[in-house]
């Protein structure tokens, strides 16, 4: 029971990685607040989880008012915050720079970067000593690919945010790290691969498998276990780091 009597906020909580992490946190004794914009998916998640230890909040992580609201709801229900898993994300599109949509670029940075910033801004003042913030970045934060302007820019930006937070919050014993999944076998990644495949005229899934030294996509369960490590006391001396869970793709 690595997280017994601890409270975790998970944004993007109704998606595959958020929900897999929530289930694992619950198994380890945590109380969990799931935050997601998709109310239907949140309702499905609520129905499958321990209602005594789970709170579901529909919110847009890019809006300050919504962020204040889900933080306040967490404190009202559970009284404390120990873990913030800033996991909400969107992909955008794959286009040449001259054709890239400004609106799409702004929307992707709003969720990944401003969303993580607002979550830390409003949750960290209430976090207990020894807490943990984990931000879902990506192997994309270690590379550049033509056409993936919003997503890759956002993922690089999250690592800068993480490093600033790690410096500021260290005196309170709060650790801040980013986790960097490679391609996962989930709907989000399949959408990414479909977009890249259309733009390049290839099979996006096969392309990624060739780029991964372990030769396969990862599972959300594998990444969730790595998030648990960063959230738990097992990582008590780990802060300001980029944990790669990418099958070697960043080598």
Q: What residues are labeled active site?
A: 151
CA distances from 146 to 149, 173, 191 (A): 7, 40, 17
* Backbone torsions φ then ψ of 49, nearest 5 degrees: -120, 170
Rounded to whole angstroms, how far apart are CA atoms 242 and 221?
19
- Residue 207 CB-half CA count within 13 A: 15
CA distances from 207 to 197, 201, 204, 211 (A): 9, 11, 5, 7
Token pair 């369960």: residue? 221
Strand, helix or coil at 115? helix
């Amino acid at each position: 029971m690595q997280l017994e009597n601890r409270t975790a906020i998970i944004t993007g909580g109704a998606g595959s990685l958020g929900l897999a992490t929530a289930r694992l946190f619950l198994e380890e004794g945590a109380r969990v607040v799931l935050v997601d914009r998709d109310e239907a998916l949140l309702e499905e998640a609520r129905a499958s989880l321990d209602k005594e230890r789970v709170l579901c909040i529909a919110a847009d992580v890019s809006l300050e008012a919504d962020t204040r609201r889900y933080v306040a709801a967490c404190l009202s229900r559970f009284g404390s915050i120990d873990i913030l898993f800033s996991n909400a994300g969107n992909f955008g599109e794959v286009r040449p720079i001259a054709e890239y949509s400004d609106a799409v670029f702004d929307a992707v940075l709003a969720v990944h970067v401003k969303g993580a910033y607002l979550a830390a801004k409003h949750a960290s003042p209430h976090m207990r000593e020894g807490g943990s913030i984990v931000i879902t970045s990506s192997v994309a934060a270690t590379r550049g690919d033509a056409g993936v302007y919003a997503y890759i820019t956002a993922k690089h930006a999250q690592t800068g945010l993480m490093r600033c937070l790690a410096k500021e919050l260290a005196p309170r014993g709060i650790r801040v790290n980013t986790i960097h999944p490679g391609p996962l076998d989930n709907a989000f990644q399949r959408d990414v691969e479909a977009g890249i495949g259309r733009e390049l005229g290839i099979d996006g899934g096969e392309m990624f498998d060739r780029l991964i030294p372990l030769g396969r996509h990862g599972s959300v369960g594998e990444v969730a276990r790595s998030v648990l490590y960063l959230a738990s006391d097992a990582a008590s001396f780990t802060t300001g780091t980029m944990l790669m869970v990418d099958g070697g793709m960043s080598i």
